[in-house]
Structure 1
Amino acid sequence: MAEFFLKRPTFAIVVSMFIVILGLLSLKEIPTEYYPKITPVEIAVMASFPGASAETMSRSVAAPLEQAINGVDDMIYMYSQNASPGNVKLVVSFKVGTDPDMALINTQSRVNLALSSLPIDVQNQGVIVSKQEPSVAIFVALQDKKGLHDDVFVANYGNIFVADKLSRLDGVSTAKVLNARDYSMRIWLKPDRLAQFGMTVKEVAAAVQEQNGERSIGLIGAEPLETASQLTIPIGAMGRLNDPKEFENIVLRATKDGAIIYLKDVSRIDLGAQSYDVVATMNGQSGAFIGVYQNAGSNTIDVSNRVRNKMEEISQFFPEGLSYSIPYDTSDYIKQSIWQVEKTLLEVVVLVGLVIVIFLHSIGATLVPLIAMLVSIAGTFIAMYLFGFSLNTLSLFGLVMSVGIVVDDAIVVVESIERNIRLSALSAKDAAFRTMKEVSKPIVAIMCVLAAVFIPVSFVGGIPGEFYRQFAITIAVSVVISGFIALTLSPTLSIMFLKKSTEVNKFGKYFDHIFDSITEKYVQGARWVLLRPKKAITMCFIVVGLIGFFALTTPLGFVPKEDQGLILVSAALPDGSSLSRVEAVSNQIEQIAMSTPGVADVLAISGYSLIES
């Protein structure tokens, strides 16, 4: 193969250029994240039974759903959360690597089988099946710092005009207001008045449901007619009620003597929020807090940029007094982490280049390994895209490690060609042909050995295998591509950059003199060790013993602990604690956090767990 490309240098250069172009195009499409996706695919099943207790929800709603869903394809486990207001959330976890769309379809099919066994009120409310995102990617806070709007208005504005637009962004799975305050007509019944009139809650609810709805009445002038009509006019009537006064005039009962009992006679009616179960504040001030969840496999940094750009656009039309901020964005830490790895990669490239210049004494000879290294990295991006990998700390760390490996093959080729030119007085082309006959098999052997070291890691099962697979495959692919480049592009570039005259400059001669003296001392040390085998073996045992000691005493961990600039505090109160009690504890924690030096923002949410949700 090497001889084929040496005879066709243009073809070798075109192939490498093609690899670089494809690598750059692949780099744009590779998602960016902090760690590889190792969490199981999760599907959430949510249902509501207004007014039911947690025990009732567990027995009559969660149990039938669990029985129907249990055993769905690729499921590993599931759990349910039942809340006393009448809500149940069932989370089904699937094997890592399962197609989320297929998991959603299979779960929905099982839920449909259980619908008939659920209470009729639950069926009327509907059962929601959706993909469960593991955590919030971005928090957007809407606040009225001038006090012109109440919390219900701010939350509804965020739900209608902000969350909907953010949900439509590319890469965003969903955006929802965590402390939603959807407008709702609240009817407060008076038990004494109901008892006086001999009425029940069910009778009141039936009357409200019957008189608060859309009705199709008919048409005037519809066929058949005795006389021709020029117009057909639809008949309209009052549909859904919008004002508290309209609800007050709902007729509950008409007595025989002509008396009419209205809804206002047995209740108090006002316009409020549908739910007050979640209360949220930021830095002590209330507002609406929108959690943005990203799609699996999407680029976190791109999603963050789209959300920020869209919020900047939406904010131009905010009502007076309303403003927004982004107190939490996972991409901030990812950007810092990726930048540190990229900076390290750049430093490695520069250091490798300096080392090559110092040892080979030639800028032209240095360009060959550097170009080979860049082409190998570009080719690695192609493989990462094809394998569905992402740019994360592990895959980039693999690239950093591979930089020192991928240049080795090119250095071997360049140094051997330069040696043949200098010692055998050959032209660069003849020296390249001789060199490739000498080193082609060793390069292939080195490539296979290095690949054999890292490829087995990709077959490790479970979460550790998923976690380190991208690291191992990245190095293995870069090694294979570097071997291909060393057999094709490196000898071609060597012919172009290496000259027959190889006179060494003064710095090169001085460096060679120092390096030769160090080499001589090393040879003397090796000779001393060879002449004293017992001492050498004893030293080896001592080193092995120290390695074993430190291996046993060093703390173990899955990943190193890192400071992400974020602290999550969860307060668990006794079962049955009221929201006001939870809010009081949350306010205390918030005050402590705000008084701590170095804290930028404090987001407190009562009635909703960011850790469990």
Structure 2
Amino acid sequence: MIEKLIRLSLRNRVLVLLIATALFGWGVYSVQTNQVDAIPDLSENQVIVFTEWMGRSPQLIEDQITYPLVTNLQGLPEVRYVRGTSMFGMSFIYVIFQDETDVYWARERVLERLASATDLLPEGATPTLGPDGTGVGHVLWYTLDAPGMDLGEQRAVQDWYVKFALQNVPGVSEVASFGGFQKQYQLTLDPNKLTYYDLSVPQVIQAVRANNNEGGGRKFERSDIGYIIKTTGYLQSVEEIENIAVATRQNVPIRVRDLAQVQTTGESRLGIFDLNGEGETVGGIVVMRYGENAAEVIERVKTKMDEVAQGLPEGMKFQIVYDRSGLIRESIHSVRNTLIEEMIVASVVVFLFLLDWRSALVIIIQLPLSVAIGFILLNAFGISSNIMSLTGIALSIGVIVDDAIVMVENAYRHLADAQGDRGEKW
């Protein structure tokens, strides 16, 4: 078989050269379009289901949320296993699919099953899907450098301006906020006053909810001008909450300020984010979408940051604390330089040992062609250019050179024997 292939190649040299040229050109294109990352994605093909039910103990979360969801999601097609984790106020379900399963198909199957599983959960507990990212999808961390601005205002800027802008960047799955305080209005009820006025906590909650609403009317025209009637009822200050009437006693309204202390504060936190021991800060984590090019996503996010920075409050700016693009550039640059050095050294050694430029040229041409074909296969199987894949190509160059030297030297010897000048050449 091999002899027939060699004979066919020798008889069709032009065709072989054209095929080699086409493969080399395809390989060069594959090098330019191949996804680039520093580390390979070895995480499992999973879909995360997150359910929040604040104020409940881990055992209650396990019994009423985690267990019903785990048992309901186990029958999905192509599922390997389902894991569940319960903690205070939160439940995490990890649905692990087969490696060849498309992640977006898997997310659709999980959503279909969750639509029927919501009836099994208690009121107020709504399961949601986690971001369509992987375990190595955290490609960039940043903080907001704003001297003189309190953490609540910084978190508000992050949640209501920066986060929404960066989430629109192609390839970004989620921007997770961290640090600071999430602003909220807090009512501290006095149980003695509730007892005195014969009121309950649900009555106060219902009164606040009923007064934090807007109602629509209708549209009417007058003098060819259209007017829209509506009521503005959203609460916008502490004073408005304090003036809400909960009930009346002898035609005298009992307001929230008579029952509770109202103040602006932050939501309870489970931890803080400190930067270099200099104090708390606010920022975000950019999570890359599954299957995206990490280097390109990071560059697009940085470009968007320059655009977003123009609308930040005066004195506030971005500070990048973790950027994988630097690791990507250094890793890929180091391995690619090693590839080039290996090809040059191997070519020089082959020429010195064979002392025949035509034989050395065969091996020299084979090295970049083999590497180019390797990148074609990387693209075909969806493997990114990372430390492991490029190192594998670098290690394979030694095997390629050894095989080429054996084949070329053997062919050279047989040709010399056929020409009767073996003693002259050796």
Structure-2-length-normalised TM-score: 0.87
Which of the numbers 12, 17, 38 marks the counterpart of 2:16? 12
Instruction: Name the residue aligned to 2:175.
Output: 175
- Partner SS state of residue 372, structure 2: helix
Aligned to 1:133: 134
What residue in structure 2 maps to residue 260 of structure 1?
253
Aligned to 1:212: 212
Could you list the per-position Cα deviations for residues 163-206 of structure 1 after superposition, in whole angstroms to 9, with x for gaps in the alignment?
Answer: 22322323322111123633332222222222221111101111
1:87 aligns with 2:82: no
Which position in structure 2 is the counterpart of 1:101? 104
Of the candidates 48, 57, 71, which is equivalent to residue 44 of structure 1? 48
Q: Measured at CA, do residues 230 and 139 of structure 1 come closer, stay the same or move farther in structure 2, by a change above 3 Å? A: closer
Q: 1:161 to 1:348 in 2, by over 3 A?
A: same
Question: Quick one: which of 394, 407, 411 aligns to 2:388?
Answer: 394
Per-residue deviation, 1:20: 1.4
* Alignment: residue pair count: 417
User: SS at 2:290's partner residue?
Assistant: coil
1:22-101 pair list within 5 angstroms: 22-73=26-77, 74-83=79-88, 86-101=89-104
In structure 2, distance between residues paired with 1:204 and 1:177: 32
Q: Deviations over 1:247-301 (max 9, x none)?
A: 222221133x321122222222233334433321102221113112222332333
What aligned pairs does 1:592-607 form with structure 2 within 5 A after superposition? none
8 A Cα contact 1:137 1:294, kept in partner: yes
Match of 2:195 in 1: 195
1:240 CA displacement:
1.9
C-alpha separation between the residues in 2 aligned to 1:420 and 1:278? 75
Give the drift of 1:382: 0.9
- Residues 68 and 113, structure 1, Cα contact 8 Å, conserved in 2: no
SS in 1 for 2:320: strand
Distance 1:306 1:70 in 2: 38
Per-residue CA distance 1:131-180 (angstroms, 9 max, x = gap): 46325332112232x32x11011112122332223223233221111236
Indicate if the aligned counterparts of 1:47 and 1:87 stay in contact, CA closer than 8 A: yes
The structural deviation recorded for 1:78 is 0.4
Rounded to whole Å, the distance in 1 between the matches of 2:265 and 2:302 is 31
- Separation (CA, whole Å) in 2 of partners of 1:313 and 1:96: 38
Segments of 5+ residues of structure 1 without an aligned counterpart are 222-227, 427-499, 505-511, 513-613
Partner of 2:115: 112
Q: Which has the higher contact order (CA 8 A, sep 6+)?
A: 2
Q: Is the Cα–Cα contact under 8 Å of residues 76 and 95 in structure 1 kept in the other structure? A: no
Secondary structure of 1:318's aligned partner: coil
Identical pairs, percent: 25
Cα distance in 1 for residues equivalent to 2:7 and 2:310: 65
Q: 1:3 to 1:80 in 2, by over 3 A?
A: same
Q: Secondary structure at the match of 1:281?
A: coil
Structure 1 residues 84-483: aligned runs within 5 Å = 86-122=89-125, 126-130=126-130, 131=132, 133-135=134-136, 136-144=138-146, 146-147=147-148, 149-179=149-179, 181-220=181-220, 230-255=224-249, 257-283=250-276, 284-408=278-402, 410-411=404-405, 414-415=408-409, 418-419=412-413, 424=418
Instruction: Kindly indicate whether the alpha-carbon contact (under 8 Å) linking 1:159 and 1:176 is maintained by their aligned counterparts in 2.
Output: no
| 1:143 and 1:286 in contact (8 A); partners too | no
- Equivalent residue letter for 1:151: L
Cα distance, 1:166–1:241 mapped onto 2, change above 3 Å: same
Q: Contact conserved, 1:171 with 1:295, CA < 8 A, in 2?
A: yes
Query: 1: CA distance between counterparts of 2:272 and 2:359?
Result: 67
CA distance in 1, matches of 2:86, 2:133: 14
Determine helix, strand or coil for the equivalent of 1:92.
Answer: strand
CA gap 1:351/1:205 in 2 versus in 1, 3 angstroms:
same
TM-score (norm 1): 0.62
**2:9–2:16: 8 Å Cα contact kept in structure 1?**
yes
**AA at the equivalent of 1:315:** A
The whole-number CA distance in structure 1 between the counterparts of 2:407 and 2:66 is 67
Contact 1:33 1:391 in 2 (8 A): yes
Contact conserved, 2:70 with 2:82, CA < 8 A, in 1?
A: no
SS at match of 1:298: coil
SS in 2 for 1:157: helix
Contact 1:19 1:378 in 2 (8 A): yes
* 2:183 counterpart letter in structure 1: Y
Q: Any conservation in 1 of the 2:41–2:134 contact (CA below 8 Å)?
A: no
Q: Which amino acid aligns with 2:84?
A: Y
Distance in 1 separating the partners of 2:62 and 2:403: 64
**Higher strand share goes to which structure?**
2
Instruction: Give, as a single letter, the amino acid of the residue that structure 1 aligns with 2:119.
Output: S
The answer on whether the counterparts of 2:219 and 2:229 sit within 8 Å (CA) in structure 1 is: yes
Q: Which has the larger radius of gyration?
A: 1
Distance apart, 1:237 and its partner CA? 0.8
- Kindly provide the amino acid, as one letter, of the partner of residue 391 in structure 2: F
Structure 2 match to 1:521: none
Gapped regions of structure 2 (runs ≥ 5):
none
Give, in whole Å, the separation in 1 of the partners of 2:340 and 2:42: 28
Deviation at 1:209, TM superposition (A): 1.3
What is the Cα deviation at residue 99 of structure 1? 2.2
Are the aligned partners of 1:38 and 1:96 in contact in 2 as well (CA < 8 Å)?
Answer: no
Asked whether the 8 Å contact 1:187–1:269 carries over to 2, the reply is: yes
Q: CA deviation at 1:6?
A: 3.8
Instruction: Please report the RMSD computed on the Cα atoms of aligned residues, expressed in angstroms.
Output: 2.9
User: Is residue 39–residue 96 contact of structure 1 (8 Å, CA) maintained in 2?
Assistant: no
Letter in 2 for 1:405: V
2:246 partner SS: strand
